Structure 1
Amino acid sequence: MTNIVIRSDEINAAATALSMAAAAHTVVLEGQVLGPGQHTFEFLGERTTVQLASFEELRPDDPTVAVVFAEGESASAGIEQILATVTPDLFVLIGGGVTAVVEALNTVDRHGIDPAAVLHVGSFIVNGTHLGVKAEKRNVLAGFLGDNPSDELVKLAQDTFPHITIGEGAVVALSSVNAFMHLPPMLLNAMNVERGDELLFYVEGFGDSVCSLLEALDKDRIALGLALGLQLTPVPELLDMSRGPQGLPGTTLREKINSFPAYQNIKLPSSFQHRYCAHELRSTFAPLSQIAEVVGVQVPTIQAVVRLGEILLQTDLSAPARSDARTFVAHLRSQRERSHKALQQPEGIATLK
């Protein structure tokens, strides 16, 4: 099996650690939620007990996968903390959008690590907390940050995370489903956020207007993808894909979101600084807006929510995102150029260094 080292204080990371331990991997969770030892939790409706390991219990003959959660946490800090303890065969970055990808690229470059040893998984692979896992996702988009990952790394990723579908890294960075699910309800329920109302986020807070805003944002995202030469799958389809062969229950987008069992008890946050708002704006929407400026495509709805976010958070979101946007576009163009040169290279002729 695999040694898995997870770095995060996110409760969903604890749920992921417990799930991976239940799959017989040796799992270390480096964070504040759970420590080494036995833990009992509800796993898909069944009471389950698993063992989380210490670093000393990692198996030297097994490959090591490091998992860094970037949903509201720093991808760069997570990678640095992992490297202070172990040198993994594969890094797995969970969520975080464009900003997390740029942070990861910059960090591994400082350490001389090949970006092809970093896999970006677009969203959480389970729904749950340290108390229970309510659902496991399927077909979660994932992509390596560098060119031509080895067959061994691809197999290690697929064996460790059977929940994923590996595609192009740039597509994954622009397909943060969580961002499109989180931000519209935060903006359109602003008064409820300010009052701290006990609103059920995906049931009472996710109405037709929220769905309309989500779909308008998604239309901009798809247009941006086309400008970059990327074919992006609409968010509603990504949601259905990740919930298995049957997809989400219901017919309309609102019905599907309102009725999904794992969403039923999630409450509306009481602060715009919550990751559902501040993080999604900084990691996804502000960078998307700036990427659109770099490539010259109109994304009016994305630009509108970024401006609203700046008002609510009382901060400039655009200036910090410009550097990330330029780095992301430069990385994508560099990959394309290398791929084009590789296709032009005659077989059997070495490239001059």
Structure 2
Amino acid sequence: MSEDQPRVLTASVHDFRYFAALLRGVNFANRASVSITPDGFTVTVEEARCLTATAFVFSHVFDEFVYNPDAARPSQRSQPEDDDDELTATAFEIPLGTLMDCLNIFGTAGLAPGTSQKKKKSQADGDDSDGGRGSGRAGGKGKGRADADDVSGNARLDQWFAPGKGTGMRMSYAGPGHPLTLLVAEESGGPTATCEITTWDPEPRLELAFDSDAVVLKIILKSSWLRDALSEIDPSTEKLTIIGNPPPPPGRAARSSAPPCFRLKAVGQFGSTEMDYPNDREVLETCECAHPVAFTYKFSHITRALRALQSSLKASLRIDDEGLLSLQFMMPAPRRPGRRSQAFIEFWCLPLDE
């Protein structure tokens, strides 16, 4: 494809660690659906027709974000424009694990700026398939597997990457039948890597319709409270039951015999474990439950959210009257002047039939 031909998507960022953290939160299935709109794009994966996860990557995450949907339909560019036509999303599928490996080609796709994880957490992620072996330090020296003698590529780097800004990335997509192209560089005068990732036509995905008007349990809490609880459960656990009880009326203290507002019950081969959360604003920022509820889920599905929990600030847990679970994780905002919008990752999980 010629340089002058318009692309469907062109996006660049001087430090892609925040972008990598968003993708890492849903990197538990290799095949991912990407949907691009003028506001950004979503990356969605699913597992066992019971679990879906979506990372919402808004355009402000990038320093440059140009979306040209007409480039995906070259046969229409010569025809008169129809004012009634609406902009539609451009969709395709990619191997997400391969994309994460490409981002980490210099070993710098570590922790996102603004997160406060422990060092041992980042080391644990280093064994995962996303190749998260970086230390998360801006401007760190990578392993340099790219060709540093690509003079023609380096000649145009200054317009995309600023020195001292960490590892930069330029991403482009020319349309159906074309690969997703990544240009990764640690600095304008350093080594670069160009990666072309195969794309596929999108296939129908699992659609889980959450009924926001029929929510029977809503919990908002710090991600660390939920992350620590899930991390302490034995990995051999098979089922996790989420139990909710109505909180006491405002101004009235809960009785000592009253059940907890929020409880996690894990059941496995070696017994069961219960973890209770008190109705304390320091623990549960929001607890809405009209009557006692309990729904059970496959524990291995719930643990898929641990990566997102590790990078997020707050977690919102909602369950509708059919037992469909919605987990939404608010990510820290990128540290940029005038850009305070926060991205988020959302999981939907079907309950077990019991």
Rg (Cα) greater in structure: 2
Q: Which has the higher contact order (CA 8 A, sep 6+)?
A: 2
Q: Which has the higher helix share?
A: 1
Q: When the two structures are superposed, what TM-score results if normalisation uses the length of structure 2?
A: 0.25
TM-score, normalised to structure 1, is 0.25
